[in-house]
Amino acid sequence: MRPSFWPKIGYIIRTLVVCLVLLVPATSGQAKSELIASVGLMADKTALLDVESAARGQYEPSGQTMTRGYSSAAQWARLHILPAPDGGPVVLFVRPPLLDDVTVYAPVTSAPGNPGSAADTVQYQLIQPDWPSSLRGYSLSPPDGGAVYLVRIVSSGSLSINVTAQTTSAANRISVLTDLVHIGYFAIMLTLFLWALRMLMTTREPLFGWFAAMQSVWLLHNFLYFGYLSVLLPKIEHDNLALAFRAAVFIAAMLSIAFHRAVMIRFQPSAFALHLFDVQLGVMFFAFILFWTVDRNLALHINAYCIVAAPFIFMLNVATARKQASPGLITLRITYTLLSVFLLLWVSSLLGYGQKSFASLYGFMIHGLTTGLLMSIILHIHGRNLIAAARDAEAEIAAMEQQRTIEQERTRTLAQFIDMLTHEARNALSVINMSIATPTISKRQRKRLDDAILGLTGVIDRCNQTIRIDTKEQTIEREDCDLVALLRTLCSKAAEPSRISFHGQGTCIVKSDPVLLGVVFGNIIDNAFKYSPPSSEITIKLEKTDKNSVLVMFENLQGTAGMPEPGHVFEKYYRSQRAKGQIGSGLGLYIVRGLVHMLGGKVTYEPIAEYVRFRVCLPC
């Protein structure tokens, strides 16, 4: 994963959170245009009351947000709704949209000015939701002075209802703002889901897989809860949608507990604390089976109490954690403390402890956001640590691979060196043996013997010189050096001085090491004699290119060994196939390049037609 990815995600999430913070209070602005004058609430424990009986029942005063937790009883709400100031329709919203069963009854007649006094004579008729949005909305036409409307609510899950009556314009505004809040919320949750998938593919860490699975089910749960699936697929029965929603509650809860267990196990909490997660999952799974077979309300109630236990299990695990793991114990404890607080606030509303409108309407969104964001912080830090560890491992592997390559190169070089030395020593010794085997040594044999000894000595000298270059042990002693005099001396000591054509006059002083320069020029001259045709001319030219550098050029005609390959000519132990018939180490030009570079110069090989040419450029 690239390091720049998370800042982009963080920016998107921060922007969306700010939008939610601005939009959620805006939806609460409905109180300024509220047309519900009063609310009464009555429990129907038998769930058998008809509308006429409910109209005569005893109602307790209530707020517009009614929380009853998990109950098998039906709830009747009696709403006194005023007419719209502009004389237009009034829209009644009953939220959330995915309650199991909501029926709204409008009065056929009503006693003006005192709507509650003539309940015995009022007839009620069932009306259908007709508001064109995901919200459950009913168009009403209250008379002057208002009218009493009855709402029957049944839910197998937690019963938390909010009712509001608004003018058409206000209802449109609420619908738009609600959709914007939901879109912002979905955008954050989807962003976290996609981020988790990306991190899973990048790090192969199972925690990101658990988090992505939890987010995916939570997104489906919310999509159902907001009523969008019923808008997209209107032909699906409401009961089936409600059933799918309740099933998603169980699956989301179990995946959440499994995810938190996977987070905690890395920190090695006590066996008892960790085992509580297993108990929690077992009870939830039992409740899930109970939901499908016996009693849905009881199963959901059990599931809710398992969720209530989650914060305490979280805190027990983080308190007994013994091992430092990514992202660190302190980060883990702070994150899970905050998560536990938000979770308890949500569940208290879920169980009916609290009548706050905001918590009832948005508690699950707050829980989803806080869980997603807090867990993404932990996972982000953990993912960053994983990526850093992976990079360190890659660097270590690369270093090991590089070291292995160096060792292989050393082994190969040593093998080449031993092969070369064995070959050349065998050749030289053969010449020596042949020469001393005769009773008398002729002049020609004596020369061959001297050449063999000289060649073998040269091989050994070049090997020693190569070792000094490779181990960085070669010392340089700079002094004023006359290149003309040095080259004339080398030419005079050559095997056949008459073959050398030297072009250089006067003096040419450079600040360099005369001994090393002698090795450089001597190796090139020796190569020229060795690989050029017998009696052919060897040309050496010395010229001062400018006040800062001197150029020495060596040129000879190619011999039976042919032209050296430009890409390999300066490589260690390089010798062409046709050159291996003569004594040599394959180190001469390798030494030339190494010493010239150490002296601050440059050597190049420039073959021209049938001529072998080397240029040595030295600083003055």
Q: What gap in Å lies between CA 262 and CA 275, rounded to an integer?
A: 12
Per-residue model confidence (pLDDT) at position 12: 47
The token pair that represents 399 in the structure block: 């270093």
The residues with which 154 forms a beta bridge, in sequence order, are 101
Q: What gap in Å lies between CA 241 and CA 227, rounded to an integer?
A: 9
* CA nearest neighbour of 101 among 154, 40, 59: 154
123: Cβ–Cβ under 8 A, 6 or more apart, which residues? 107, 108, 109
The token pair that represents 366 in the structure block: 């707050």
* Sign of CA pseudo-dihedral 292, 293, 298, 301: negative
Q: What gap in Å lies between CA 253 and CA 261, rounded to an integer?
A: 12
Tokens 């004579």 -> residue: 121
CA 199 to chain centroid: 5
- How far from 223 is each of 188, 194, 231, 314, 397, CA to CA, in Å? 14, 17, 11, 28, 47
Tokens 């807090």 -> residue: 374
Per-residue model confidence (pLDDT) at position 318: 93
Per-residue model confidence (pLDDT) at position 344: 83
With beta carbons less than 8 A apart as the criterion, state whether 189 and 215 touch.
yes
Per-residue model confidence (pLDDT) at position 38: 94
Q: What gap in Å lies between CA 100 and CA 242, rounded to an integer?
A: 6
Q: What residues in the chain have per-residue pLDDT under 50?
A: 1-6, 8-9, 11-13, 16, 19-31, 110-120
DSSP classification of residue 565: P
The token pair that represents 385 in the structure block: 């640590």
Tell me if the pTM is above 0.85. Answer: no
Output helix, strand, coil percentages for the chain, rounded to the nearest 5: 55, 20, 25
* CA nearest neighbour of 21 among 339, 362, 375: 362
With beta carbons less than 8 A apart as the criterion, state whether 198 and 153 touch.
no
DSSP classification of residue 608: B
Reported as a single tens digit per residue, the pLDDT across 146-194 is 999 999 998 877 778 889 999 999 999 999 998 898 888 889 889 999 9
With beta carbons less than 8 A apart as the criterion, state whether 484 and 560 touch.
no
* Sign of CA pseudo-dihedral 606, 608, 612, 617: negative
